[in-house]
Amino acid sequence: MRLTQHPILEFDRGREIEFEFDGRKLLGFEGESIAAALHANGIRVFRESIKRKRPRGFFCAIGRCSSCLMTVDGIPNIMTCVTPLKEDMKVETQRGKGAILLTESFSPGSRPTEARRGAKDVATVSLAIVGAGPAGLSAAAYAGRMGVETIVIDENDVPGGQLIKQTHMFFGSREHYAQIRGIDIGDELIANLSGLPVKLMLGTTVLGLYPDRTLSLLANRRHIELRADAVILATGASENMLAFENCDLPGVYGAGAVQTLMNVHGVVPGKRVLMVGAGNIGLIVAYQLLQAGVDVAAVIDAAPEVGGYHVHAAKIRRAGVPILTSHTVQRVTGPDRVESAEICRVDDHWQPVPGSERTLSVDTVCLAVGLTPNCELAFQMGCRETYVAELGGPVAAHDPDLETSISGVFIAGDASGIEEASTAMIEGRLAGLAAAELLCREVDREELKRLRSEATSSLKTLRAGPFGATAREGKRKMFKVGS
């Protein structure tokens, strides 16, 4: 179902167009994701799993998890959650692994037989930043400010990363964009880049990062090689899955996915939702669901206490939504989509308490059970990997300047350890400044020093207090290990 009224958002939808789904004509809006268009038409099942033929829908909605693969215009394994809808597109439920069209004509031209390496066009840049979210854009602003020629690459057509779906206001001081909604912060970060030697390359996927800091890029089905003197990885994070019976059933969605669907595309995920996770994301998304007119049956969390800010929890409770701590979801049921969820209490050892089971009638289960840093590019390049549970698991080892074990390769934001957008912006700043120091011979050292100490103390302020304890501990462990 599409949202027509929203207290905060206005949806600037594209042209209404016709497309085909399994032979049926449907209507959607040009440029919205295929997944959103299907969902708006009440379609939740996108594919069949390969081995057990189970129905699958989307899960992450940001091109990370490959749950939403479908055959589009004859090409299998298309991530429909990030592929824009076009007029007359032919979208098909994918069964099995997908078959390729065997009608492709033979390309004319000579055989590519070059037997030697190198000798081809490679674009170059001083600094390449992967990810145009809060960390990447802040890094670009500060590196650019120091005079570094910078390219920011992002696979999405719109910059801002996950900020583009954050309708809530940030906390803290003005410096940390408090009292501003996430959706507006992105615009401000872009505005900060004007007049600087910074270029944005949107709609461009980084396929790989090679040992000589060469990036393999895919833009509009064209391959580009870009060699950079330094690289900042601001690649964000992926939503965690939770294992329970039928957890792959369409209707079990990541919290980020629900936000994308609802706040970017203006499509509600369902009529009645169970939110799993009472951290800030769970609480905020539960509230956003209420704002969009969706019923929230409950917010549950296995921990004995609410993890998020109490002000967020209070808003939910005032709206009459119960927050059940020491509770978990045991299973969901439904033929090809969620129809109900069974929850139960857990004891001090996180074990289900027999007899405490309850069944909730819901059509959507939203998982807000943490994130995992996206460090694949760093690991592919050979950056040292380390495991810090407080930072979200496996992360690229880095020093306080955000430099990894490979000189000139930095990592910032959620990719360097799960925190919040506000800390991501400061980490981006620090990484941008560190890259500038590395790359610029004639840099204003005094100014650099001042900006760095400003950012460092800012980061300290943000991580102060009980809510910053996990990140503090995680970073302490990280810096003790060293990059």
Partner 1 sequence: MRTNADCVIIGGGIIGAAVAYYLAKGGMTNCVLLESEYLSSGATGRCGGGIRQQWSTEPNAQLAMDSVRIFKTIEEELDADIEFLQGGYLVLAYTDEDVEQFHKNFELQRRLGLDVEILQPEEIASRVVKQVNTDGVRMATYCPTDASANPFLATKAYAQAAVRLGVEIELFTPVTRILREGNRIVGVETERGIINTPRVVNAAGSHSVPLARTVDVEIPITPYRREILVTEPLERFFDPMIISFSFGIYFRQVKHGSVIGGFAYADEAPGFNEESSIDFLTMMSRKLSFLMPALKHVKVVRQWAGLYDVTPDAQPIIGETDGVDGFFQANGFSGHGFMIAPKVSSLLSQLILGQKPDLDIDRLNARRFSEGDVDLDHSVV
Quick one: which segment of 111-119, 234-242, 347-355, 371-379 binds partner 1 (CB under 8 A)? 111-119
Question: CB of residue 114 vs partner 1: minimum separation in angstroms?
Answer: 6
Question: CB of residue 99 vs partner 1: minimum separation in angstroms?
Answer: 4
Is residue 194 within the footprint of partner 1 (CB under 8 A)?
no
The owner of tokens 């970017």 is: 264
CB-wise, 26 or 72, nearer to partner 1?
72
Site for partner 1 in 359-388 (CB under 8 A): 382
CB atoms closer than 10 angstroms to residue 119:
6
Question: CB of residue 150 vs partner 1: minimum separation in angstroms?
Answer: 21
Question: CB of residue 96 vs partner 1: minimum separation in angstroms?
Answer: 6
Question: CB of residue 206 vs partner 1: minimum separation in angstroms?
Answer: 12
Residue 245 DSSP symbol: B
| Contact pattern from residue 36 through residue 75 relative to partner 1, giving x for each residue in contact according to CB under 8 A and a dash for the rest | --------------x------------------------x
Residue in 25, 52, 111, 480 binding partner 1, rule: CB under 8 A: 111
Mapping DSSP onto H, E and C, the string for 253-289 reads EEHHHHHHHHHHCCECCCCEEEEECCCHHHHHHHHHH
CB-wise, 52 or 223, nearer to partner 1?
223
Question: CB of residue 308 vs partner 1: minimum separation in angstroms?
Answer: 37
**Cβ-proximal residues to 121 (8 Å cutoff; 6+ apart), any chain:** 225
**Cβ-proximal residues to 118 (8 Å cutoff; 6+ apart), any chain:** none
Question: CB of residue 61 vs partner 1: minimum separation in angstroms?
Answer: 20
Q: What is the DSSP string of 122-183?
A: -EEEEEEEE--SHHHHHHHHHHHHTT--EEEE-SSSSSSGGGGG--SBBPS-GGGTBTSBHH
CB-wise, 15 or 223, nearer to partner 1?
223
Mapping DSSP onto H, E and C, the string for 469-483 reads HHHHHHHHHHHHHCC
d(CA 235, CA 132) in angstroms, rounded, equals 8
Quick one: which segment of 2-10, 207-215, 323-331, 445-453 binds partner 1 (CB under 8 A)? 207-215
Is residue 115 within the footprint of partner 1 (CB under 8 A)?
yes
The phi-psi region of residue 217 (left if phi > 0; otherwise alpha if psi is between -120 and 50; otherwise beta) is: beta
Coil, strand or helix: which one is 222?
Answer: strand
The owner of tokens 């003197």 is: 229
Using alpha carbons, select from 75, 82, 46 the residue that is nearest to residue 204.
Answer: 82
CB-wise, 58 or 287, nearer to partner 1?
58
Is residue 106 within the footprint of partner 1 (CB under 8 A)?
yes
Residue in 7, 112, 355, 466 binding partner 1, rule: CB under 8 A: 112
Beta bridge partners of 276: 300, 367
d(CA 155, CA 377) in angstroms, rounded, equals 14
Question: CB of residue 200 vs partner 1: minimum separation in angstroms?
Answer: 23
Is residue 205 within the footprint of partner 1 (CB under 8 A)?
no
d(CA 350, CA 327) in angstroms, rounded, equals 9
Is residue 482 within the footprint of partner 1 (CB under 8 A)?
no
Is residue 319 within the footprint of partner 1 (CB under 8 A)?
no
Quick one: which segment of 18-26, 55-63, 115-123, 287-295 binds partner 1 (CB under 8 A)? 115-123
Using alpha carbons, select from 98, 388, 82, 427 the residue that is nearest to residue 234.
Answer: 427
d(CA 402, CA 397) in angstroms, rounded, equals 9
Site for partner 1 in 325-354 (CB under 8 A): none
Is residue 121 within the footprint of partner 1 (CB under 8 A)?
no
Quick one: which segment of 92-100, 295-303, 443-451, 471-479 binds partner 1 (CB under 8 A)? 92-100
Beta bridge partners of 342: 331, 359
CB-wise, 189 or 228, nearer to partner 1?
228
Using alpha carbons, select from 398, 388, 331, 399 the residue that is nearest to residue 365.
Answer: 331
Residue in 8, 99, 314, 469 binding partner 1, rule: CB under 8 A: 99
CB-wise, 8 or 50, nearer to partner 1?
50
Structure tokens at 6: 């929203």
Question: CB of residue 294 vs partner 1: minimum separation in angstroms?
Answer: 35
Quick one: which segment of 128-136, 208-216, 399-407, 432-440 binds partner 1 (CB under 8 A)? 208-216
Residue in 7, 23, 42, 118 binding partner 1, rule: CB under 8 A: 118
Structure tokens at 111: 């055989």
Site for partner 1 in 237-296 (CB under 8 A): none
Structure tokens at 411: 């990592």
Using alpha carbons, select from 127, 159, 132 the residue that is nearest to residue 144.
Answer: 127
Is residue 220 within the footprint of partner 1 (CB under 8 A)?
no
Return residues touching partner 1 (CB under 8 A).
Answer: 50, 75-77, 96-102, 104-107, 109, 111-118, 207-208, 210-211, 214, 216, 223, 225, 382
